[in-house]
Amino acid sequence: MATGAVAALRNMKVAGNSKSLEEARARVFDFFKLACRSLPSVMDIYNLDDVVTRSQLRSAIASQIRKNSHVTNTKVIDMLLFKGMEELGNIVEHHKQRHHIIGQYVLGKDGILQDLSPKDEGSSDFLKNFYSGNYF
């Protein structure tokens, strides 16, 4: 399975510029499907079965994409797609190590601290910054 995903990614061409927002949108969905299809091999390569499920990783990818949902410039979307494709290629070809994947996609940005409980919703920016670090 792993070889198939790698081969599929190898055969992906860098697409030309998207002509319209619809085309860019379609490409994003294609990219998401490709990423989801490579998830089984990724879990296999990095031994992720005991830390995360496939659906969790899927939603991690989705949230990464949703983070840029406000972008409407097709050129920017193409650039982001290119970066995503590169990242996916690196992951699938085992250019990363297990802790990279766990740190970036399993725990997430503020996963390690997990200081923000619902209780803190009313707290000031100062306190939120204080929990995340000394320099703000």
Partner 1 sequence: MGLGLLASRLIRPQKTAARTLLLRSIVTKPELQSPEPATAPQPDPTPDLPPRTPLAGARVHFPNPEDAIEVFVDGYPVKIPKGMTVLQACEVAGVDIPRFCYHSRLSIAGNCRMCLVEVEKSPKPVASCAMPALPGMKIKTDTPVAKKAREGVMEFLLMNHPLDCPICDQGGECDLQDQSMAFGSDRGRFTEVKRSVVDKNLGPLVKTVMTRCIQCTRCVRFATEVAGVQDLGMLGRGSGEEIGTYVEKLMTSELSGNVIDICPVGALTSKPFAFKARNWELKGTETIDVTDAVGSNIRIDSRGPEVMRITPRLNEDINEEWISDKTRFCYDGLKRQRLNDPMIRSSDGRFKIVSWHDVLAVVAEIALQVKPEEIVGIAGKLSDAESMMALKDFINKMGSNNVWCEGNGPSPNADLRSGYIMNSGISGLENADVFLLVGTEVIQLTFLICLGWNAWIIAVMSFTFCYFFAYELVCCFYDVLNLFFAFMFCTPFCTFSLPLCLIFCLMKCQPRVEAAMVNARIRKTVRGSNAKVAYIGPPADFNYDCEHLGTGPETLTEIAEGRHPFCSTISNAKNPAIIVGAGLFERSDKDAVFSAVETIAKNGNVVRPDWNGFNVLLLNAAQAAALDLGLVPESSQSIESAKFVYLMGADDVDLEKLPNDAFVVYQGHHGDRGVYRANVILPASAFSEKEGTYENTEGCTQQTLPAVPTVGDARDDWKIIRALSEVAGVRLPYDTVGAVRSRIKTVAPNLLSVDEREPATFWASLKPEVTQKMSSAPFDPAIKNFYMTDSITRASKIMAQCSALLLKK
Binding site for partner 1 (CB under 8 A): 113-117, 120, 123-127, 130-131, 134-135
Nearer to partner 1, 69 or 114 (CB): 114
- DSSP output for 45-97: HTT-TTT--HHHHHHHHHHHHHTTTT---HHHHHHHHHHHHHHHHHHHTT-S-
3-state helix, strand, coil in the chain (%, to 5): 65, 0, 35
CA angle 118, 122, 128 (to 5 degrees): 80
Residue with smaller CB distance to partner 1, 72 or 117: 117
Provide the minimum distance between the beta carbon of 88 and partner 1 in the complex, in angstroms, as a whole number. 33
Q: Which is nearer to partner 1, 73 or 123 (CB)?
A: 123
Q: How far is the CB of 128 from partner 1 (least distance, A)?
A: 10
Least distance (Å) between residue 114 CB and partner 1: 8
